[in-house]
Structure 1
Amino acid sequence: MSSSNDRRQREIMDLMMKDFKVELVNDSVKEFFVELHGPEDSLYQGGVWRVRVELPDDYPVKSPSIGFATKIFHPNVDGLSGSVCLNLLNQDWSSVFDLVMVFKDFLPRFLKEPNPDDPMNPEAAELMIHDRPAYEQRVKGCTQLSPIAHLKIKPHNCFLIPKKHNIVRHTQSHKVPVLLRRILQAMKR
C-alpha cells in the first residue's frame, strides 16, 4: 500500500510540475481536482475545466475515475454526472499509464476527437451527427463560460450583474482577483 501511495504522490507532483493546477480534497492523494485547458485547434480551445479524479486503492492496476466537475458539452461525457466514456480509462487501461498521460495526451485527444457512435450524451451525439453547426455552437457556448464557471468567488468580493450575452456591467475591481479581472475585460471587448 505504501508504494501505491508513493506513486500517487509522485504522479500528483508530476502533474504540478507540468503546470497543471491540482486541488486535493481533504489533503487526500486519492481524490483531487485538476484544471484542464482545452486543446488548441479544437472546439474546446480557450476553455478551462475542473476535472475530478479518484484513484482506487489498487491504482495503478485499476484505472482512475475521471469526471468533469465543470459543465462541458461532449458526446462522450454524461451531462449530469460529468463521467467520461474513454476506453483508455476503462477496459484498455494499463498500469504503465500515469496521470500526466491522462491529462497531457488522453483527455486532450478525447476533446479533439469525440465519438458520437458511443455516446454518454445522446443530445450532443445527435447534434454532432445531424446538425454540426448547432453542435459547434453548443460546444463553444460551454467553452466560453468555462473559465468563469469554476472560479471560487465570494459574494462580497464581486457583484456580477448579468447584461446581454452574459457580459458583466459592474464589479468592485479592487477586490476582484487578477485572473477574473482579465476575463471580465476580455468579455467587455
Structure 2
Amino acid sequence: MSSPKRRIETDVMKLLMSDYEVTLVNGNMQEFYVRFKGPEETPFQSGTWKVRVELPDQYPYKSPSIGFMNRIFHPNIDELSGSVCLDVINQTWSPMFDMINIFEVFLPQLLRYPNPSDPLNGEAAALLIREPRAYESKVKDYVNKFASADVMGDGDDESSEDDEMSSVGSYESDEEPAGAMEV
C-alpha cells in the first residue's frame, strides 16, 4: 500500500513544482484542482479552466478522475458535468503515465484534436462536423463567458472560491471544528 501512496506524493509534488497552479482540497494529495490553460493556436487558447482531479487509492494502476469545473464546449467533454471522454484516461491508462502527462500532453491533444465520432456532447460533435466555423465561434464564445481571466480571476490568490469548494469535499467528517459554521 505504501508504493501507490508514494507514487501519488511524487506525481502531485511534480505537479506542484511545475508551472501549473494547483490547489489541494483539504491538504489531500488525492483530490485537487489544477488551473489549465487552453493550447495555443486553438479556439481554446485564451481560456483557463479549473480542472478537478481525484486520484484513486490504486493510482497509478487505476486512472485518475478528471473533470472541468467551468463550462467548455467540446465534443468529448460533457458540458454540464465536465466529465472527459478520453481513451488514454478511461481505457488505455498505464502506470507509466503521470499527472504531468495529463496536463502537458493528453488534455492539450484532446482540445487540439476533438473526436466527434465518440461524443459526450452531441451538439458540439454535430456542429464540428457540419459547420466547423460555427463550432469554432461557439468554442470562443464559451471561452469568453466561462473561461476568461475576468471569470476565473487573474490568478491573484483569490482563494475564497477554492475554500468554499474545498469545504464541500469534506463530506464524511465526524465532527465539524468548533466555530466552523460561523463564517
TM-score, scaled to structure 2: 0.80
* 1:24/1:33 contact within 8 Å kept: yes
1:136 is the counterpart of 2:133: no
In 1: Cα distance, 2:58 partner to 2:80 partner: 27
| 1:112 aligned partner | 112
Secondary structure of 1:36 counterpart = strand
Gaps of 5+ in 2: 161-183
Offset from partner CA, 1:80-109 (integer Å, 9 cap, x none): 100000000011100110000111011001
Gaps of 5+ in 1: 155-189
| 1:180 aligned partner | none
In 2: Cα distance, 1:26 partner to 1:46 partner: 30
In 2: Cα distance, 1:148 partner to 1:3 partner: 41
Amino acid at match of 1:126: A
Residue of 143, 150, 153 corresponding to 2:152: 150
Secondary structure of 2:29 counterpart = strand
What's the % identity of the aligned pairs? 50
Displacement of 1:7 in angstroms is 1.5
| 1:52 aligned partner | 52
| 1:81 aligned partner | 81
Displacement of 1:153 in angstroms is 8.1
Amino acid at match of 1:22: V
TM-score, scaled to structure 1: 0.77
Amino acid at match of 1:136: E
Secondary structure of 1:138 counterpart = helix
Amino acid at match of 1:17: M
Displacement of 1:148 in angstroms is 3.0
1:5 is the counterpart of 2:5: yes
Amino acid at match of 1:54: E
Structure 1 runs of 4+ off > 4 angstroms? none
In 2: Cα distance, 1:134 partner to 1:107 partner: 22
- When the two structures are aligned, how many residues end up with a matched partner? 154
Secondary structure of 2:62 counterpart = coil
* 1:5/1:29 contact within 8 Å kept: no
In 2: Cα distance, 1:144 partner to 1:79 partner: 15
Displacement of 1:2 in angstroms is 2.4
In 2: Cα distance, 1:149 partner to 1:92 partner: 34
1:38/1:117 CA distance change after superposition, 3 Å = same
Displacement of 1:144 in angstroms is 2.4
1:43 is the counterpart of 2:43: yes
In 2: Cα distance, 1:54 partner to 1:3 partner: 18
Amino acid at match of 1:138: K
In 2: Cα distance, 1:69 partner to 1:137 partner: 21
In 1: Cα distance, 2:79 partner to 2:118 partner: 14
Q: RMSD across aligned C-alpha pairs, in angstroms? A: 1.4
Displacement of 1:149 in angstroms is 2.9
| 1:95 aligned partner | 95
Displacement of 1:8 in angstroms is 1.3
| 1:182 aligned partner | none
